[in-house]
Chain A
Amino acid sequence: MIRVLLVDDDQELTGLLSEYLEREGFEATAVHTGEEGEVQALSGHYSIVVLDVMLPRLSGIEVLRRIRARSQVPVVLLTARGDNIDRITGLELGADDYVPKPSSPGELVARLRAIMRRVQPVGQVTSEVIKTGPLVLWPGKRQALWQGVELGVTSTEFSLLEELARSAGQVVSKQDLSLNALGCPLTRYDRRIDVHISSIRQKLGPRADAKAWIQSVRGLGYLLIAE
């Protein structure tokens, strides 16, 4: 059973969404303030958090910042349609995905499932290890070591890194990254991949030759330098 935490000040909406999610086989709990959302998200009780950006007083973005300071629990943002700033800021702060408001609850469920598939891969050999350069990945445990140190990445970032590492030294197209790592096809003007990649780049730091470990190949995609 996947436990979902809904953080939204619209009580009627969370009521409807909880009902919908429960019929889809999730276990949903709703809280209505940012403060409560932060506490609940950090409780470790939930597998995924759905967080509204427009919360009174403590904004969703601030709640996300506080959650990310202490936890890598997957977070899906509910953002206003057309509000690109919130969206990009959210992804940069480590949100795994966003769903614009208003959209159908089916859309939300699809995104939640895609993220959960990544976090809990089914039928995968847990002992599989991917090694490239200073990077070691254990996809079964969702664990990453970078230059011998534990790398703090969100589940979405892990999936992207995994895709790049599997084809280290080769260009992986954005379309493939979107399909395999985010679980949905790339749409036009979709900046999600780029924002996630830039966040991973920052965590990896620069190479000795001052170049980034992940190179963008214009019009083609991204490439993880293999050594």
Chain B
Amino acid sequence: MMKPSRLFWKLFLAFWLATSLTFFVGIGIITLSRQGPGNPHLDTILESEEQLLRQFGVEAGRQLLQVWHHPDGEAIAVYDSHGQLLAGLPIVDPVFERTVLSKEGLSLSLRSSRVPGNGGGEGGPGLMPLLIGTVMSALFSSFMAFYLAWPLAYLRRAMSDVAQGRFETRVKPIMGSRRDEIVDLAEDCDRMANQLKLLVDAQQHLLHDISHELRSPLTRMQAAIGLLHQNPARADMVERIERESLRMDTLIEALLTLARVQGRPESIAREPVDIIELLALIVEDARFEAGIKGCRVDLQGCAPFVSRVSGELLYRCFENVIRNAVRHTHPETAVLVVAGTNPDGSSLTVRIADQGPGVEESRLQRIFDPFERGASEAGSGFGLGLAIASRAVEMHGGTILARNQAGGGLCVEIHLPRQA
């Protein structure tokens, strides 16, 4: 069990004060209603009686006591100096007595069955119910405060665990069978911890992959430098080193692009771009590369589709996907790029299909992850192209998916909504 928190004390005091106040006010109302309306307090009557006797005499005093609707057990009487009752009801043993000099010059004795100024007395509520009420309200308040405060203490501890990087912390199971907003909060907290864990793991993984990818060209460079030391006549090694350094530069460039497309969608500059024209440009470029392999790239376009996008990012996106297709399609085959808008022209779908070996079904989902590449293609590219393409499409509110075609080969389908 944990130490009562500050929140516990605040809630406890608030509840206690509230319940105690309600209790006291209740008691007060009951007391007042017992006296009834037009039934002023004994003190006031005594005061008035004294005034009347002084200013108007015994007769006036008698009239007041006659009209005074006195509660049970309360009585006021006026006696003269001989002990003769002049007004009010007789009082056998007065608790209070005062001598008053009346208007007529008589020395009178004003007696009361109760001490004035003391609100208690046998008519009022006793000390015992007050005590019981206060204790009961304290018990109830501490229960309520505890009930609300303890799950928060666990939540707080879980949050500080998460802040310290212990993402496996789970707070929901501690809540037991409880069902309320606090448990919902605990559930959200658990979900957040899980999400953070996934993110941090992915980031770690990415960092590991990046260092590996940067190391490979570096190791080759070291080997080439070693060979150059062995035999300074090997001028081809200098070209080799140059090529490796270019490769590292390309990788860093791609990493920066990846970092950029992982930002928030509103962080990129947009301009109206005709995507069909963009595709035509990329296909033109890809044809040269494909020609070396004896392949074709065919484009089936449609009417211009102008949308407010980042032209540069989408260029890279389509270029990566199309070049990937050209790289994997079998020699002497064609890569087909088909673009089409939906009937109301609100979105564009581009299909890029190759006639290559395709991808194993189990890997289809992962080909858009960074550094995920087929076993047969070690060394070709960095495995960042499709990752960049996928993030770029997501950034434009679109979707990208890959599937194997019935006739063989991979088909990547990109769906982009028009943005005005």
Give the shortest distance, in Å, between A199 (CB) and chain B (any CB): 27
Instruction: Decide if B226 touches A20 in the complex (CB within 8 Å).
Output: yes
Instruction: Decide if A102 touches B227 in the complex (CB within 8 Å).
Output: no
Contacts of B222 in A (CB 8 A): 102-105
Contacts of A81 in B (CB 8 A): 215
Chief secondary structure at chain A's binding surface:
mixed
Instruction: Decide if A54 touches B223 in the complex (CB within 8 Å).
Output: no
> In whole angstroms, how far apart are the Cα atoms of A10 and B212 in the complex?
12
- With an 8 A cutoff between CB atoms, is B224 at the interface? yes
Question: Nearest B residue to A24 by beta-carbon distance?
Answer: B230
B228-250, CB < 8 A from A: 229-231, 240
Instruction: Decide if B218 touches A80 in the complex (CB within 8 Å).
Output: no
Count of A interface residues, CB-CB < 8 Å: 22
A1-56, CB < 8 A from B: 9-13, 16-17, 19-20, 23-24, 54, 56
Answer whether A102 and B221 are a contact pair too, CB < 8 Å, given A56-B378, A80-B212.
yes
From A80, A103, A104, A106, contact of B211 by CB (8 A):
A80
Instruction: Decide if B227 touches A10 in the complex (CB within 8 Å).
Output: no
- With an 8 A cutoff between CB atoms, is A57 at the interface? yes
Instruction: Decide if A16 touches B230 in the complex (CB within 8 Å).
Output: no
Question: Nearest A residue to B237 by beta-carbon distance?
Answer: A16
Instruction: Decide if B230 touches A13 in the complex (CB within 8 Å).
Output: no
- With an 8 A cutoff between CB atoms, is A101 at the interface? yes
Instruction: Decide if A13 touches B378 in the complex (CB within 8 Å).
Output: no
Residue in B219, B220, B221, B231 with the greatest tally of chain A CB atoms within 10 Å: B219
- With an 8 A cutoff between CB atoms, is B379 at the interface? yes
Question: Nearest B residue to A52 by beta-carbon distance?
Answer: B219
Instruction: Decide if A12 touches B226 in the complex (CB within 8 Å).
Output: no
Instruction: Decide if B229 touches A17 in the complex (CB within 8 Å).
Output: no
CB within 8 Å of A: which residues of B? 211-212, 215-216, 218-227, 229-231, 240, 375, 378-379
Q: Sample 16 A-B pairs with CB under 8 A, ordered by A number.
A: A10-B219, A10-B379, A11-B379, A16-B224, A17-B223, A20-B226, A20-B230, A23-B231, A24-B230, A80-B215, A102-B218, A102-B219, A103-B222, A104-B225, A105-B223, A105-B227
Other than the known A10-B378, A56-B378, A104-B222, what 8 A-B pairs have Cβ atoms closer than 8 Å?
Answer: A10-B216, A10-B379, A13-B219, A17-B223, A19-B227, A101-B215, A105-B223, A105-B227
CB within 8 Å of B: which residues of A? 9-13, 16-17, 19-20, 23-24, 54, 56-57, 80-81, 101-106
